[in-house]
């Protein structure tokens, strides 16, 4: 499996190619990539978004102050079980 930073860069590049503006941050042993989701994305844009997100260890879409935000997480080190973090099954 590729290194976590390479995986995160791949996801960010795929999102950028689909006309999204990825934002990345690193903390607590993980890399998080976020993008704002337009109110009415085209079907092709939506499919590209989901295809990029599914490459992550975890992903989701949630509401924010400015609308929907899609996020993807790549683990750099094992999750902290004491904080309730879990790797996907």
Q: pTM (2 decimals)?
A: 0.82
Tell me what percent of the residues of the chain surpass a pLDDT of 90: 71
In a 3-state reduction of DSSP, which class is residue 62?
strand
Q: Torsions phi, psi of 26, nearest 5?
A: -120, 130
Q: Given a cut of 70, is residue 1 above it in pLDDT?
A: no
What is the side-by-side order of every strand in the sheet holding 58-64? 23-27, 30-37, 67-75, 58-64
Q: Which domains does the chain have, with CATH numbers?
A: 4-78 (3.30.565.10)
Give yes or no for residue 54 having a pLDDT over 70: yes
pLDDT single digits (tens) 7-38: 999 999 999 999 999 999 998 889 999 999 99
């Amino acid at each position: 499996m590729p290194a976590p930073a390479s995986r995160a860069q791949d996801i960010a590049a795929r999102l950028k190619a689909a006309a999204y503006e990825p934002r990345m941050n690193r903390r607590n042993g993980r890399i998080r990539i976020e993008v704002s989701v337009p109110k009415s994305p085209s079907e092709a844009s939506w499919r590209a978004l989901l295809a990029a997100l599914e490459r992550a260890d975890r992903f989701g879409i949630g509401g924010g102050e400015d609308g929907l935000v899609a996020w993807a997480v790549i683990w750099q080190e094992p999750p902290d079980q004491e904080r309730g973090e879990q790797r996907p099954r």
